[in-house]
């Protein structure tokens, strides 16, 4: 009897945990998109008002922004600092690709971020700022979409996790 109770607890806990992990993805994506927007606004300020060189601006932003986002800016700045012959856009692309693997962002978000890299350090200040503004507007749309998806799916996945565990327990026992 004790083994059955322990088994029930393990099955329900495990399936609930999986459901909550999936729900966390839906919760984290809008947050990360919002943090990216705030970080890009800081980059815009660094470029426009302070005329900070790109590597320094990226380092400054990585120190000020959300922990989940700062890796993107820190990696880009680190690659630029190593002066391995990469352009700013190539450094940004490498950092986005590394960052994307451990983020809650989807492929559309990644494409938006990658498109920004083609303009970083490659064009004049004005065009960089235009591209940052365009990227901000695209990320805002993605955030609104992600928030809508979160509202629909977050609770559902939590319930699915718990109910799947209960269903498995009922089928087995």
Residue-range domain boundaries for the chain:
2-172
Q: Tell me 120's DSSP state.
A: T
The pLDDT assigned to 52 comes to 82
The pLDDT assigned to 172 comes to 86
Candidates 148, 150, 154, 142; CA nearest to 37 is 142
Please compute the mean of the pLDDT values over residues 2-23 and round it to a whole number. 93
> Given a cut of 90, is residue 137 above it in pLDDT?
yes
Please compute the mean of the pLDDT values over residues 153-169 and round it to a whole number. 94
> Given a cut of 80, is residue 84 above it in pLDDT?
no
Distinct helix (H) and strand (E) counts, the chain: 6, 0
How would residue 49 be classed by pLDDT, with cut points 50, 70 and 90? confident
Please compute the mean of the pLDDT values over residues 35-56 and round it to a whole number. 89
Please give the Cα distance from 1 to 51 (Å, whole number). Answer: 71
């Amino acid at each position: 009897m004790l083994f059955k109770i322990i088994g029930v607890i393990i099955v329900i806990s495990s399936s609930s945990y999986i459901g909550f992990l999936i729900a966390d993805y839906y919760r984290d994506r809008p947050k990360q998109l919002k943090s990216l927007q705030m970080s890009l606004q800081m980059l815009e300020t660094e470029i426009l008002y302070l005329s900070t060189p790109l590597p320094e601006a990226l380092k400054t932003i990585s120190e000020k922004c959300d922990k989940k986002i700062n890796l993107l800016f820190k990696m880009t700045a680190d690659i630029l600092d190593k002066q391995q012959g990469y352009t700013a856009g190539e450094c940004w692309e490498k950092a986005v690709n590394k960052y994307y693997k451990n983020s809650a962002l989807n492929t559309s978000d990644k494409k938006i971020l990658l498109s920004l890299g083609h303009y970083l350090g490659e064009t004049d200040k004005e065009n960089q700022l235009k591209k940052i503004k365009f990227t901000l507007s695209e990320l805002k749309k993605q955030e609104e979409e992600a928030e809508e998806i979160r509202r629909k799916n977050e609770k559902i996945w939590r319930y699915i996790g718990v109910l799947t565990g209960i269903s498995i327990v009922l089928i087995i026992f």
